[in-house]
Amino acid sequence: MTAALSTGLAGGNAYLNVHSTCAPGGEIRGLLATSAVPEPSSDALMIAGALTVGGLARRRTHQG
């Protein structure tokens, strides 16, 4: 990774453009962004929500 790419990623200013012989102007374009690592509390909340939904679905199938 170059210093310029590293700086661009850190500042949210990195842009990717893939060129080919079929599309010399670029065929795949996108803005590269880094995301924060989720906190353990948000992971626990997501797991608790998934377990709740699973429990409700299981209860519905056993009731009917």
pLDDT digits (tens, 9 = 90+) for 3-61: 887 787 777 777 777 888 887 877 777 766 666 776 778 888 889 999 999 999 888 88
- Give the pLDDT confidence score for residue 25 in this predicted structure: 78
Same domain flag for 24 and 2 = yes
Q: In the predicted model, is pLDDT for residue 64 greater than 70? A: no
Planar angle of CA 50, 56, 60, nearest 5 degrees: 145
Same domain flag for 53 and 27 = no
Same domain flag for 27 and 4 = yes
Tally the domains of the chain. Answer: 2
Range of the domain at 42: 37-64
Amino acid at residue number 6: S
- Give the pLDDT confidence score for residue 34 in this predicted structure: 65
Same domain flag for 1 and 28 = yes
- Give the pLDDT confidence score for residue 48 in this predicted structure: 92
Contacts of 2 (CB under 8 A, 6+ apart): none
